[in-house]
A and B are shown apart, each in its own frame.
Chain A
């Protein structure tokens, strides 16, 4: 399990645009880097990120090796209703991580 940090407001007014910021601990090994012996370290990156809001996808992204280690991502969504946001990172070597956060919308 990789450590993640997810930041979004706990509550918002209906229709308000909220900013969501995420950090996840991951080396994002590019697959282009030689190790001490000269052998290329195999690629190990997060390839996909998705955010769903009460089950509906509101944002997704495809990552490439040029995304920095410990990926940071900030994006926005409209606060529509009180509910749950689900964040999923998927990557090489079967990497899958899912986190949730709830929001109260008034």
Chain B
């Protein structure tokens, strides 16, 4: 994946004559500020504590046919015991107008550390899941998702 691939250049004439119906798949570059916003949101969640890769598994399709409803499942390795469990799972994105997606609080009564939902992806972007453990450590996983532009959009 090359997230900062340049968008295809189209002349004005081509753009004007090419109907939206026939829009080309664009791998759009995320808005410049968005990844920084995501980093800031993650720091807010962790209270500036370091985040290590691992223990978290983020399942999201690598290529989605519509960014309006993207299924996502986050699983965290943990015994989920009273003294050792996952306290919170948060999901962040680097390409939507706002970096947060969901922040869930769980505990040893959850039995397992797993959470599924559906999210919106405005464009192709990186998605990051972070888990907070009961010992105060933070772990994460991330994924790059390509959002194809639908051919026949509601006009």
Which A residues fall within an 8 A CB radius of B?
17-18, 21, 30, 32, 53, 56, 58-69, 71-78, 80
CB neighbors of A among B57-116 (8 A): 68-71, 73, 93, 96-98, 100-107, 109-112, 114-116
Task: Report how far A77 CA is from B105 CA in the complex, Å.
Answer: 12
Q: Indicate if the CB atoms of B115 and A74 lie closer than 8 Å.
A: yes
> How distant is B118 from chain A, measured CB to nearest CB, in Å?
4
> Binding site of B, secondary structure by majority: helix, strand, loop or mixed?
strand
- CB closest chain-B residue, reference A23: B118
Q: Across the interface, which residues of A come within 8 angstroms of B100, CB to CB?
A: 62, 64, 66
* In contact, A78 and B110 (Cβ under 8 angstroms): yes
A67-B110 contact, Cβ under 8 Å, with A72-B118, A73-B117: no
The number of residues on chain B lying at the interface, defined by a beta carbon within 8 Å of a beta carbon of chain A, is 29
CB pairs A–B below 8 angstroms (17 shown)? A30-B97, A32-B97, A61-B102, A64-B100, A66-B96, A66-B102, A66-B119, A66-B120, A67-B117, A67-B119, A71-B117, A72-B71, A72-B116, A73-B117, A74-B114, A74-B115, A78-B111
Contact of A77 among B68, B103, B110 (CB under 8 A): B110
Distance, CA A34 to CA B103, complexed state (A): 27
Interface residues, chain B, CB within 8 Å of chain A? 68-71, 73, 93, 96-98, 100-107, 109-112, 114-121
Contact B120 A61 (CB under 8 A): no
| A56-B104 Cα distance, complex, nearest whole Å | 16
Determine whether the beta carbon of B107 is less than 8 Å from that of A73: no
Asked whether B68 lies within 8 Å of A76 as measured between CB atoms, the reply is: no
If A67-B119, A68-B118 touch, whether A62 touches B102 (CB-CB below 8 Å) is yes
> CA–CA, A54 to B93, complex, Å?
35
A76 with B112: CB separation less than 8 A? yes
